[in-house]
Amino acid sequence: KAGKEWTADVNFNRSKNTNNSDISFRSFNHMNQLDPKSPAMLQEIEGGGRNTFLTMQTDYVNPINDNMKWEGGLRAQIRTFESSQLNYLNGDFNPLISNNFEYSDYVYAGYITFSQKVKDKLSYQLGLRAESSSYEGVQLGKAKYTNEFPLSLFPSVFLTKAIGDKQDLQLNYSRRINRPNFFQLMPNTDFSDPLNYQTGNPDLKPEFTNSLELSYQKTYGKTNNTFLATVFGKYTTDLISRYQNRQKVGSSDTTAFVSTWINASTAYAAGLELVFRNNVTKWWEVNLNTNVYYSKINGSNVVADLENER
């Protein structure tokens, strides 16, 4: 019948990359003086990698009548990555600062939603998504890493109510997941900039966010101008955050400040957004918006009393 459909698709992508760089560097004893502390060094980097990405998804939509329908679907996602960085100093291969890393992650999910319109004044949508995810990685010759989340549930509620002539209120709640990307997980230390070492954290976990949002929208005037006010709040656990500390560089004996990623304990965010859209003429539209935002990150699980507030 009209609107009832079942779709399915499969996507596969494969790619590879290579990169090479030569970096010449020298240290000096004093600023603005040609007083070399060491002879010039040449760092040669041979890098590369490849990845595959497979996604399979199916969705089913069934309208019960003009005002009600339900939807459901399944999804599987499999990704594999390989990355290498071979470092040479003055032509000699240095295995202590060289890396090879292989990584695979798996996500399996299913969802169902139900939506309904009630007397042209109220509409709502209820949803629930279930996901199972895991990843495994190996730094060849060094270590193996695994992380697994057997089952996570993600409910959502969306409500819209008309409260007058061209006015409505919307209330939304959802729970979402943000997984670390490949570069945030990869423990290969990037040595291309001796003053800014960077590495990933294979023990990173996904962050989970509960969001609540209330919006008021009004359309007014002969040219259908719009005013939108939104207040929102977010609570996140295991927030993925940038972190810098002094540590050993790769497998060498050198210590330096290294930038990486961590899971902060919790984070709070709240804000207010006001948007005015004015249609001055048929060809001229003026938009004005104002934002008030507050956030607080609690990283006491990494360093005692570590907080970031703004």
Give the residue among 221, 229, 231, 230 at the shortest CA–CA distance from 285.
221
Whole-prediction pTM: 0.79
CA atoms of 18 and 74, how far apart (whole Å): 35
- pLDDT confidence bin for 7, thresholds 50/70/90: very high
Give the residue among 248, 166, 176 at the shortest CA–CA distance from 212.
176
Burial class (CB in 10 A: 0-12, 13-18, 19+), 188: buried
More confident site: 39 or 52: 52
pLDDT value, residue 298: 87
Residue 268 amino acid letter: Y
Cβ neighbours for 7, distance < 8 A, ≥ 6 positions apart? 58, 59
Asked whether residue 42 carries a pLDDT value surpassing 90, the answer given is no
pLDDT value, residue 249: 67
CA atoms of 58 and 7, how far apart (whole Å): 6
Burial 160-186 (b: 16+ CB within 10 A, else e): beeeeeeebebebebbebebbebebbb
Instruction: Report residue 126 CA to chain centroid gap.
Output: 25
Asked whether residue 9 carries a pLDDT value surpassing 90, the answer given is yes
**Residues 127/156, Cβ–Cβ less than 8 Å:** yes
More confident site: 235 or 96: 235
Segment 63-71 shows an average pLDDT of 92
Q: Quick one: tokens of 247? A: 């540590």
Asked whether residue 190 carries a pLDDT value surpassing 80, the answer given is no
More confident site: 118 or 157: 157
Query: What confidence tens digit (pLDDT) does each residue in 219-231 have?
Result: 988 888 999 999 9
How many residues appear in the chain? 310
- pLDDT confidence bin for 282, thresholds 50/70/90: confident
More confident site: 119 or 49: 49
Q: Which range is least confidently modeled, 69-73, 169-173, 239-243?
A: 239-243
Query: What confidence tens digit (pLDDT) does each residue in 234-272 have?
Result: 999 999 988 888 877 666 677 778 888 999 889 999 999
- What is the number of H-type helices and E-type strands within the chain? 1, 14
Asked whether residue 218 carries a pLDDT value surpassing 80, the answer given is yes
CA atoms of 2 and 210, how far apart (whole Å): 36
Q: Whole-angstrom distance between the N-terminal and C-terminal Cα of the chain?
A: 53
